[in-house]
């Protein structure tokens, strides 16, 4: 992240937070169609659009979890809702590529380290 400007880091972090919200929201049983507009005749997933969604009920969560969920919901609304999937994912692809280029595989056993 240090390679990015503060604004770039904020954009990446908020976009990823919005994606976390969408993942968690859908994993709780919300239909995918409530979050994504596929568009008439649009075959490319990158052209599908994130829909604005209503703020979720959070009363069942403890206060700290409510704050966490609300922050991710706001990131979803700010960075994803109304934008094409390709646009939002494209904002952090360079960041992910940088991570991949600098990562070492945890499963690489070609050069085992002594125990």
Residue 100 falls inside a structural domain: no
92: which 2 tokens? 């952090």
In a domain, 26, yes or no: yes
Per residue in 58-75, pLDDT tens? 788 898 988 998 999 999
**What is the tens place of the pLDDT at every residue in 93-102?**
777 787 777 7
Determine contact, residues 52/77, Cβ cutoff 8 Å. Answer: yes
pTM over 0.85: no
Q: Which of 17-21, 24-28, 48-52 has the lowest mean pLDDT?
A: 24-28
Is 108 part of a structural domain of the chain? no
CA-CA-CA-CA torsion sign (52, 73, 13, 96)? negative
* Rounded CA separation 48/89 (Å): 12
Whether 85 is in a domain gets the answer yes
User: Is the pLDDT score of 83 beyond 90?
Assistant: yes
Which domain range does residue 21 map to?
6-93
In a domain, 60, yes or no: yes
Length of the chain: 115
Domain count, the chain: 1
pLDDT at 104 over 70: no
């Amino acid at each position: 992240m240090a390679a990015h400007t503060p604004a770039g880091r904020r954009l990446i972090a908020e976009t990823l937070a919005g994606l976390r919200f969408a993942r968690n929201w859908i994993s709780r049983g919300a239909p995918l169609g409530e979050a994504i507009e596929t568009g008439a005749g649009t075959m490319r997933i990158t052209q599908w659009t994130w829909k604005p969604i209503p703020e979720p009920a959070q009363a069942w969560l403890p206060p700290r979890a409510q704050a966490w969920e609300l922050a991710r919901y706001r990131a979803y609304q700010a960075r994803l809702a109304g934008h094409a999937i390709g646009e939002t994912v494209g904002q952090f692809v360079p960041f992910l590529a940088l991570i991949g280029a600098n990562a070492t595989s945890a499963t690489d056993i070609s050069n085992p380290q002594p125990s």
